[in-house]
Amino acid sequence: MKVVSLAAGNSVEELAKQARDWSVRHVGIGNPAKEAELRKLLPPSVQVHVGEEGLCELASLEEADTVLTAIVGTTGLRPTLRAIECGKDLAIASKEILVMAGELVMRKAVKAGIQVLPVDSEHNAIFQCLQTHGGRVDEVRRLILTASGGPFRNTPKEVLSSVSPEQALCHPTWKMGPKITIDSSTLFNKGLEMIEARWLFGLPIEQVDVLIHPQSVVHSLVEFRDGSLLAQLSCSDMCFPIQYAITYPERVPGGLKQLRLEELVDLHFELPREEDFPALRLARKAATTGGTMPAIYNAANEVAVQAFMNRKLSFPGIWKTVEEVLSRVPARPYGENLEIILEDDARARETAEEIIRSH
């Protein structure tokens, strides 16, 4: 296995170190203002690719056979489509790609004959369960995504309005970036994953459910029409799904911590509090409406989360803003037209900002 290229948004020093450590010949930096700083840290033999177009160049490098996309927001969409056009297998860790353009991405992937391998622990778990069943979904009754429930799983509804960004960033199980951690606390993370699962596995949103599982040991389940359940279990470490996606179809030893069932005290499951945390209901609405509505859902949430972190919006204000945006911005079918998705993404962001200012 060889690392052909690496990219980062702003983390110049870490990117340069990894490029040197692994003799990477191509690196990409998302922020053009960081280009000069990056070049100073790299030998002249390393080629630097800049901005979104630079990412597209990396995604189409002839010597790469797999492209792993792990970019928050819309930036990863064009490079991912470029990778598909060039016949690269995809390992996807960016929810936004399938939330915004799942129909387009999966249609192009099927046409190109490439594999789309999920890196998210929940979707990777479902993928593994389905592999034991020959990959068939015709006998699946439902997909069950598990969620830790975040830090406010047992917090009374009337207290949520006083939640601070610092409290929301204290995730009980996973160590993640700020945006994803806030999304986990509101359950928007799980709403995005529901839409993503709908496209990854080709099932309607009505067959995608969520269960709260605080221990984060069962990473997701598949229920079949005879009532049988298959689950994937492992220690709470993202190295497991990342490794499986990269080495698929092989399973290789990686020195990761083994799960000892005899040491498990309890595996607990409960229904999410959808009335108090309506992100899941809004996700179903967006997925059922279709077209650009999932992109509108995602964009509104990104703006609302940033406003909450900047203390311009209350914690419940996040989903209230998203719900209002969904009612104000009409969805459109997009077919093969990526520009329609990006236009409605921009309209959703502008509307969300107007709503936040008015409040």
Q: Is the peptide bond before 249 cis (omega within 30 degrees of 0)?
A: yes
Q: What is the pLDDT of residue 240?
A: 94
Q: What is the pLDDT of residue 150?
A: 86
CA distance linking residue 4 with residue 26, whole number of Å: 7
**According to DSSP H, which parts of 233-310 are helical?**
239-247, 279-289, 293-309
Q: What is the pLDDT of residue 136?
A: 83
Contact residues for 130 (Cβ-Cβ < 8 A; gap 6+): 136, 137, 140, 201, 222
Q: What is the pLDDT of residue 116?
A: 95
Q: What residues does each domain of the chain span? A: 119-277, 290-359
Q: What angle do CA 123, 126, 129 make, to 5 degrees?
A: 150
Best CA proximity match to 197, nearest among 269, 120, 132, 112: 120
Please state the pTM of the whole predicted model. 0.93
Tokens of 165: 């960004």
Q: What is the pLDDT of residue 53?
A: 95
Q: What is the pLDDT of residue 134?
A: 79
Task: Say if CB 302 and CB 260 are below 8 A apart.
Answer: no
Amino acid at 46: V
What mean pLDDT is reported for the chain?
94
Q: What is the pLDDT of residue 265?
A: 83
Classify 290-359 by CATH class: mainly alpha
The list of the chain residues with pLDDT below 50 reads none
Contact residues for 322 (Cβ-Cβ < 8 A; gap 6+): 188, 279, 282, 297, 300, 301, 304, 352
Q: What is the pLDDT of residue 174?
A: 63
Characterize 329-356 residue by residue with b for buried, 16 or more Cβ atoms within 10 angstroms of its Cβ, and e for exposed.
Answer: bebbebeeeeebbbebbebbbebbbebb
